[in-house]
Amino acid sequence: MELAYRESGSGLALVLLHAFPLSSAMWLDQREGLSSLCRVITPDQRGFGGSPLGGDAPSLDTAADDVAELLDRLDLDRVVLAGLSMGGYVAMAVLRRHPDRVRALVLADTKASADPDAARANRERIAAAVESDEDSTVLVDEVLPSLLGSTTASSRPLVSGRVRGLVQAAPAAAVAWAQRAMAARPDSFETLRGFDAPALVVVGSEDVLSPPADAQAMAEALPRGRFVLVPDAGHLTAVETPEAFNAEVAGFLAELPA
């Protein structure tokens, strides 16, 4: 599977994996704000943005292999791998399957635990809803409100509108595939404990989907993990507060050994 991607800048490669149910378009502020420091690569995960869905069964392992294939295509041996929300799940799957490709890790607004039964059932309900009706508003009605923090919802109308547009653009088949892939993901804490390289864990103070306690647990599991709480942001820190997010990532990159 050849993922579509965008890139900017040069030098150290930073691969940014997007959230559900968005696309690589969510990383616009990172492509612009970090490209003077590194080579920023933003793939569209399968089915989203410009990437085809293909016929493979839903699996984060498959999504991880897609990322490894993209690195091969770009002739990149090891990269700084960053993922937000679903992108974090894929990043942890890359750590399981292709640990030698990850030089350093950034996890944002995600969690290492597997879904409990109720969450898995809810994902299947949403997958079935969009499959049965491509005009279903379940994403806008139920998913969108939890993506943004209260500060963004009340005082950042342009951000809210942008995220709404990205959610509405998500193809139904990709939404269903991703929901089932995420529902089947394993617990990743042991994978994080085995990653002895620099790692940054970022979370919005208003994130209700992956709360700060989940981020703190990941940072503690990572042997070289660092925890950062971003104020006035919900589940999409990179989109809601891009300046703060970029500053944390830039500082992390600056500290990496040559």
Q: Please determine, for residue 134, whether its predicted confidence score (pLDDT) is greater than 90.
A: no
Q: Please determine, for residue 237, whether its predicted confidence score (pLDDT) is greater than 90.
A: yes
Q: Output the CATH code of domain 5-254.
A: 3.40.50.1820
pLDDT 10s digits, 173-205: 999 999 999 999 999 999 999 999 999 999 999
What is the amino acid identity at position 31?
R
HEC assignment per residue over 143-189: HHHHHCCHHHHHHCHHHHHHHHHHHHCCCHHHHHHHHHHHHCCCCCH
What stretches of 37-116 show up as alpha helix (H) in DSSP?
Answer: 60-73, 86-97
Q: How many CB atoms lie within 10 A of CB 45?
A: 29
The model's pTM: 0.97
Domain-wise residue ranges, the chain: 5-254
Cβ contact 233:207 at 8 Å: yes
Q: Please determine, for residue 40, whether its predicted confidence score (pLDDT) is greater than 90.
A: yes
What is the phi/psi pair of residue 255, to 5°?
-90, -10
